[in-house]
Amino acid sequence: MHTTMKNVAINFRPDDTGSLELVREIVLFLREHNVNPLLPDYEILSAFPECKDCITDDQSFVNNPDLVIVIGGDGSFLRAARMFSRRGIPIFGINKGRLGFLTEFPQEEALAYIAKVIAGSFTFSQRGLLQATLIRDGKETECIIFLNDAVISKGSLSRPIVLHLEIDGHFLNSYSGDGLIISTATGSTAYSLSAGGPIVSPAIECVYSINPICPHMLAIRPMIVPIQSVLTATILSDFENLLLTIDGQEAIRIQRDDKIVFTRSPYSAKVITHPRHNYYEILREKLSWGKNLNA
């Protein structure tokens, strides 16, 4: 079989001992097809001698692969998407549990489809990314890319957080509530959906949503805006435990007068799609739509 990919990174959680046997199988499979496996420097891999010479440093692990294989759930996929976002390489997700929105391939089918992917036979969904830039005292202190969502929240405090919002330099609104979710189309079925936001097909890369969490005014509603729009949120509340959370995985402390600027990222994620599944099928299964109608 002719392969189009020379280096393949295998990404999984550093504490996921349950995936080690699958990692070993993939390593051996890739070698049989003259593809170089790349593994992160995890201590748990020491139990597999055949994996030791595949372990590489962080820089090589991120910069050298032509393909990323992610083992785990959608959370693992989100982490990998941020890690490899600047590379623009396709990501193949293996789900060890139920069918995932991002990790579409079940474990028992993984090797058969990996063979097709490394031969160049695959389709992918291009997912738009956003970035959140934290500005404090007029200086940029953080700039983080996200695939799902960014959330401004007040931690465990019972008091509402007060935000001032501008879009494309124009005043939009000021409101108090439990926080704010900025969601990509991909992330519309995550926290934003639980907070009453709309479902947006990931095929619509050109928009993102602004979704207030439990606002204290009934007139405040979620909005869909063009992805080119620049949203600036200024923190007006003056108490501790304010957080900016990225994809539910990275938390940054924020404070009064901080500005968080949300813009389109110049990068995108290439999510390899299962040829026998589609987004609406996965959506129907996840949300249990169309069941028990004949009961």
Which residues fall within 8 angstroms of residue 222, CB to CB, at 6 or more apart?
192, 196, 197, 198, 209, 210, 211, 212
Q: Per-residue confidence at 291, pLDDT binned at 50, 70, 90? A: confident
Within 13 A of 204's CA, how many CA atoms are on the CB side? 16
Average pLDDT over residues 225-236: 97
Spatial distance between the Cα atoms of 41 and 61, rounded to a whole number of angstroms: 9
Average pLDDT over residues 205-209: 93
Spatial distance between the Cα atoms of 25 and 280, rounded to a whole number of angstroms: 31
Task: Choose the weakest-confidence range: 26-30, 94-98, 182-186.
Answer: 94-98
Question: Residue type for 202, please?
Answer: P
pLDDT at 294 over 70: no
| Mean of all residue pLDDT scores within the chain | 92
Q: Per-residue confidence at 248, pLDDT binned at 50, 70, 90? A: very high
Q: Per-residue confidence at 216, pLDDT binned at 50, 70, 90? A: confident
Share of the chain above pLDDT 90, in %: 79
Q: Regarding predicted confidence, which is higher, 172 or 240?
A: 172
**With the CA atoms of 78, 82, 86 and 89 taken in that order, what torsion angle do they form, in degrees rounded to the nearest 10?**
-20
Report which DSSP code applies to 122: -
Average pLDDT over residues 252-267: 96
Structure confidence at residue 1 (pLDDT):
54
pLDDT at 269 over 60: yes
Structure confidence at residue 133 (pLDDT):
98
Average pLDDT over residues 69-95: 95
74, 178, 247, 258: the catalytic one is 74
Question: Residue type for 149, please?
Answer: D
Write out pLDDT tens, residues 107-163: 999 999 999 999 999 999 999 999 999 999 999 999 999 999 999 998 766 788 999
C-alpha 274: how far from its chain's center? 18
Domains of the chain with bracketed CATH: 7-123+273-287 (3.40.50.10330), 129-266 (2.60.200.30)
Share of the chain above pLDDT 70, in %: 96
pLDDT at 100 over 80: no
Structure confidence at residue 293 (pLDDT):
60
| 57 counts as catalytic | no
Q: Per-residue confidence at 219, pLDDT binned at 50, 70, 90? A: confident
Write out pLDDT tens, residues 71-80: 999 999 999 9
Nearest to 64 by CA among 118, 8, 4, 2: 8
